[in-house]
Structure formats: C-alpha cells, structure tokens
Amino acid sequence: MTDDRLRMTPGPTEVPVDVRERMAEPTPNPDVEPEFFAFYRALTEKLEAVYGDDDVVVLGGEGILGLEAAVASLVESGDRVLCISNGLYGEGFADFVRMSGGDAVVCESPWREPLDLAAIESHLEDGAYDVATMVHCETPTGVLNDLEPVLDLCDGHDVITVVDAVSSLGGTPVPTDRIDVTLGASQKCFSAPPGLTVCSISDRAWEKIESFETESLYTDLEPWRDAAADEWFPYTHLSSNLYGLDAATDLLLEEGLERVFERHEEAATRCRERAADLGLSLYPDGAQSSPTVTALEIPGRAVAVQQRLADHHDIVLATGLGDLAEDVLRVGHMGHNARIDRVDRTMDALATVLEEDE
C-alpha cells in the first residue's frame, strides 16, 4: 500500500516499501525461539557497522526511552552532570538527570548559536563532573553541533559522555568512537517506523552502569549487556519493529554510508539553495545547519503555510516547537527522504504557497 502524501518531516521519516514488507513477516516468540536471538545478534552486528565499534543494544521503545534510560542507568543520587545545551533536547536532559536524583548543571548558549566552548571548559575546570550530556543535531532548530572540541574537553576531565544523535546518526558522520553512550532511534535517518531506540555503549560506561543498584526495570540498560549472549530479554522484544530496522539497516549498508552521507549533503544543499531563491533565511545563525533538517524562518506564517502545503499539495512538513511554532518551518531531508527530487517537489509547492499568500 502506498499513498501520494510526501512526508518531509524531520522524523518520523517515510518508510520504504522494503522495510514495510519485512514487518509483515510472521511474528515469532522472541523469548522461546532461539533463532530470534541469532537474528538479534546479527542485527546488532550490522548496527555496529553504522554506529562504530562499541557494543550496540536495541531497546523496545521510541527514541525518548534511550535518553531516559541512558541517564537513569548512569546517574545516581549525588552525581554531578553537565548538561550542555543550545536547544530543546539539550535542556531536556537536565530533567532526566533531576528525575534520577542527579545534580544537573546546565551550560547553555543561545539556540541559533554554536555550543559555548569557553563556558564548557570553565564549568569542567570548576567542578568534578561524572557525566556530560549533549545533542548532536537539535532537530527543533536544525542546528548541527560540532562535538569534537567538546569531547576533547570532556576527555581531559575524565567525564562520561552521553550524546543524543537521534536525528543525525545514519545521515551524517557522528564521532561515536569518542562518545561513551550514543543514542539513536529507528524513525529518523534509518527510515524505519518509530518504536526502537539504539544505543552504543563503551566499556567505561558499562562499568559505571554495573557499579550501582538501579531502581528501574524498563529504563535500566544493565540487563541488555548480555541479553544476546544469555538469550534472555528483560521483556518481550518488538519483533516486527526489529525486522523493519534490519531491512532499513541493510538498505543503508548496501548503499554505503559514504554515499548516504553525500546524499544528505546534496539534499540539504538543494533545499537551502531553493530557500535562498525564495528569499527565506535559515533559523541557525552562527551555528551550522544540519545535513538532515532545514529550519526556515517564516515569521508569523509557519503554521498557515504548513496547513496549506498539507491541504493543497499533500506535503507534510513540521513547524518549530514551542515559541518557534509560528515562525519556523522545518523540512526534513532525512533518511529515505534525503533525495533531490523530493526536496524539489517540496520547494516547488512551498514557492506556490508563498506566492498565493502575498
């Protein structure tokens, strides 16, 4: 089944037919069929090729589960956590830290600007931090953060790093080998349906996770460390979603990550050229725009334009979130949607809508 709607949102992204067909396979009993564990192990090996060299685990739950689980498993009462933020998801980490009884210190910079390295450095020098959290692509603003210099600073202070790479992983390079816990999800650049969180976890992070008694079940990463080897999942796994992610990962690896990253760059460049032709500015100002999503300023009209695109052109876009809802329109060119023909169809329609509006 297909429809004519073009869903160019920055996640969930359009799910290709191959992936949807795999999800229609017969449903196994993941707890009692050993073949299913062999399948899960093979899937995590493929995902390790996408994530870099760390251990990968896949949890049954949407991307937010990964963010909460990483914090709940690494932060206990009294731990000091530096939450590095220039956006909504960056700020959100502080809430998870407080829920775990940790002491969250937020190092903030304005949403349109890059992370503030000098402020991060002085925080790290002033206080003994156990963990630092940060976001690679702030999807609500279309900002891609340069993580290398931040990771250098964290390295120098022996701080465990947690990175939300949900909307960049599989669309642009992520320095996963330098990160302790990298978080991704099925519904962004993988172009599988929402439902799974993928985390890669370093040995040092596993040690910390195993060093304390966690009072949680669903958000505890520890039982996942040996799940594949011990053939025991903490709960019934989401088999159809895992089949879908397997097909989606095959598509990524068959195309080749280098080519996939190039395709995202090409789609982003086209989107921004077309936006410039329409006289539209990018929301990020000083910060880099992500190859996976473009946030455009359409002051006061973003919701109306979004509605017209859906009603008259069958194209679904996202607006900004919170205070930015009326002023920012977001085009996702992410995963399967990172294609010039899709960007062109979107921007042709946007041109028409903006012209009608004048």
| Contact footprint for ligand PLP (CB under 6 A) | 11, 62-64, 89, 135, 137, 139, 164, 166-167, 185, 188
Task: Closer to ligand PLP by CB, 34 or 322: give it.
Answer: 322
Q: How far is the CB of 112 from ligand PLP (least distance, A)?
A: 16
- Distances, alpha carbon 226 to alpha carbons 41, 56, 222, 231, 304, in Å: 11, 11, 8, 8, 50
What would the 3-class secondary structure string for 132-192 be?
Answer: EEEECEECCCCEECCCHHHHHHHHHCCCEEEEECCCCCCCCCCCHHHCCEEEEECCCCCCC
Return the residue nearest ligand PLP (CB atom): 63
Task: Closer to ligand PLP by CB, 63 or 193: give it.
Answer: 63
How far is it, in rounded angstroms, from Cα 18 to Cα 245? 11
Task: Closer to ligand PLP by CB, 44 or 197: give it.
Answer: 197
- List b or e across 118-130, with b for residues whose CB sees 16 or more CB atoms inside 10 angstroms: eebbebbeeeebb
Type of residue found at 47: L
Q: How far is the CB of 188 from ligand PLP (least distance, A)?
A: 6
Task: Closer to ligand PLP by CB, 96 or 206: give it.
Answer: 96
- Vertex 49: Cα angle to 224 and 196 (nearest 5): 45
Task: Closer to ligand PLP by CB, 90 or 102: give it.
Answer: 90
Task: Closer to ligand PLP by CB, 100 or 186: give it.
Answer: 186
- Distances, alpha carbon 167 to alpha carbons 197, 225, 237, 303, in Å: 12, 24, 23, 22
How far is it, in rounded angstroms, from Cα 102 to Cα 118? 24
Place of tokens 């073009």: 6
Task: Closer to ligand PLP by CB, 169 or 228: give it.
Answer: 169
Task: Closer to ligand PLP by CB, 64 or 257: give it.
Answer: 64
Q: How far is the CB of 292 from ligand PLP (least distance, A)?
A: 9
Nearest residue to 231 via CA among 27, 26, 38: 38
Q: How far is the CB of 290 from ligand PLP (least distance, A)?
A: 10
Task: Closer to ligand PLP by CB, 160 or 166: give it.
Answer: 166
Place of tokens 């500015």: 281
Q: How far is the CB of 142 from ligand PLP (least distance, A)?
A: 10
How far is it, in rounded angstroms, from Cα 107 to Cα 71? 17
Nearest residue to 346 via CA among 354, 154, 174: 354
Q: How far is the CB of 165 from ligand PLP (least distance, A)?
A: 8
How far is it, in rounded angstroms, from Cα 164 to Cα 96? 13
Task: Closer to ligand PLP by CB, 30 or 63: give it.
Answer: 63
Q: Coil, strand, or helix at residue 315?
A: strand
Q: How far is the CB of 156 from ligand PLP (least distance, A)?
A: 26
Whether the CB-CB separation of 353 and 308 falls below 8 Å is answered with yes
Q: How far is the CB of 91 from ligand PLP (least distance, A)?
A: 12
How far is it, in rounded angstroms, from Cα 114 to Cα 100? 28
Report the Cα 263 to chain-centroid distance in Å.
18
Q: How far is the CB of 90 from ligand PLP (least distance, A)?
A: 9
Q: How far is the CB of 166 from ligand PLP (least distance, A)?
A: 4
